[in-house]
Amino acid sequence: MSQPSAGTVTAPAPAVPAPPAATPAVGPGTAPATTAGAEAPRTSSLSTPRRLQLLSAGTVVVGVLVALVGVVTFGLLALVLDRAESDTEQLVRVQSIQTNLLSADATATNAFLVGGLEPAAQRATYDEALSTTSGMIAEAARAQPADATALAELNRQLLDYDAAIEQARANNRQGFPVGAQYLRGASAQLRASALPVLDELVAANAARAGSRMRVGAGAVFPVVVALSLAALVLAQLWLARRFHRRVNPGVLAASVVLLVALLASVVGLARLADGVQGVRSGPFADVNAAAGARIGANDAKANESLTLVARGSGGTFERAWTASAGRVTEQLDVLDRPALDDAWSGYARTHAEIRALDDGGGWDEAVALATGTGAEQANGRFAAVDSGLAEELQTSGEATGNALAGRTPGLVVAALLSLLAGVAVALLGRRGVADRLREYR
């Protein structure tokens, strides 16, 4: 038997096969084993109890979010509409100041036509108009600080105007022709300096009031509720797959609460938007139309008297009367009040008679018709127009304020209900998840 020589390589002994690896036991909630060489699937490090704890906290967060957003949204809407009501009151106040100033000017110029000592009734009307205007300027400055600077300038213009009118009266009582010049100067100063200030105040307050009569921001609440409801539906689906139970009573009840809150808020906000839009296009529009018509009417009446004071050279004032009358007609079309239309038409016919008399050389007859207070004379007919527009302005202003204030109780109730809905969602959702969590204890 031969032996292997030195340097000969011998074959290695066959390797002993390793025993097969033990197959891991597969139990509930355990991931299946992977095959050699295959990439292991990603698994979450969160255990089911931990996920349930997070889900419980999430339902509480959803409930708190719904409560907070509801309270803030409806509370802000109530505050905004309350500010709109205050801005509307300020708008009516400023328009009344403008109307009173033009009414005082119309009274002063009309009384000037009488000559000598002016009628006591017209003097009293003029004094009352200026006194009321001064009080309203102070009230408006307190009500809206943003208007204070402009109102202070207006008050200074008012004092200058009153001083010029007093000079006109003093000269007129003594028969000095220069009195007419003082009167025209006072009226011109009123229109060149004071009325532009009031026009800006009216525009600013109308813009403020109109911009606040919107409820679009209220859409935030139903959006948040809808997202919260979607989150609870997803939670319900996860619970159903994980625990093989179709319904989780607590989460389902929380979802129903959110669904009711969503439907109620959408319907309520839609009705609120319609109501506020109705205020804007209804009584609030009437406030602007009545004030515009009354301002135009008093401006026309003052220009009628100034045309006669000019004695044949008042073409400029007559053109101003025509422009103001057009404004009145336009605003009366918006108001659509047949009684006011008839009253204005009656005054306009009398004015046409005055112009016909004056243009035909009957100045004295024209002045008598312009200063007469009878039912068929200019002052009598104009009084019907002015009092009707003043009543319409007051009625529309009160209707606007009442309509806006009437929304506040509903918004307060909505805020409270949204708070309760949020609390219910938090409690019901947490309880539903807690039932599953107790199965692990």
Encode pLDDT of 402-423 as tens digits: 888 888 899 999 999 999 999 9
Check if the beta carbon of residue 135 is closer than 8 Å to that of residue 127. no
Q: Which amino acid is at 205?
A: N
pLDDT of residue 187: 87
pLDDT band at residue 29, thresholds of 50, 70 and 90?
A: very low
Check if the beta carbon of residue 307 is closer than 8 Å to that of residue 316. no
Does the CA dihedral 160-162-164-166 come out positive or negative? Answer: negative
Nearest to 317 by CA among 140, 105, 24: 105
Rounded mean pLDDT of 353-381? 91
Instruction: Calculate what percentage of the chain has a pLDDT beyond 90.
Output: 50
pLDDT band at residue 21, thresholds of 50, 70 and 90?
A: very low
Give pLDDT tens digits for 322-337.
999 999 999 999 999 9
Rounded mean pLDDT of 147-161? 92
Dist CA 107 CA 124 (whole Å): 10
pLDDT band at residue 6, thresholds of 50, 70 and 90?
A: very low
Most confident of 57-71, 120-134, 278-292: 57-71
Least confident of 71-80, 105-114, 357-366: 105-114
Check if the beta carbon of residue 190 is closer than 8 Å to that of residue 161. yes
| Alpha carbon distances (Å) from 237 to 234, 245, 427 | 5, 10, 19
**In which element (H, E) is residue 113 found?**
helix 48-114
Radius of gyration of the chain (CA): 41
pLDDT band at residue 42, thresholds of 50, 70 and 90?
A: low
Structure-token pair, residue 37: 């060489």
pLDDT band at residue 441, thresholds of 50, 70 and 90?
A: low
Does residue 425 have a pLDDT over 70? yes
Tell me what the pLDDT averaged over the chain comes to. 85
Give pLDDT tens digits for 214-268.
888 889 999 999 999 999 999 999 998 888 777 889 999 999 999 999 999 999 9
Looking at the whole model, is its pTM more than 0.85?
no
Does residue 32 have a pLDDT over 80? no
Longest dimension (CA), the chain: 168
pLDDT band at residue 116, thresholds of 50, 70 and 90?
A: low
Rounded mean pLDDT of 375-392? 92
Check if the beta carbon of residue 338 is closer than 8 Å to that of residue 345. no
pLDDT of residue 169: 86
SS3 of residue 101 by DSSP: helix
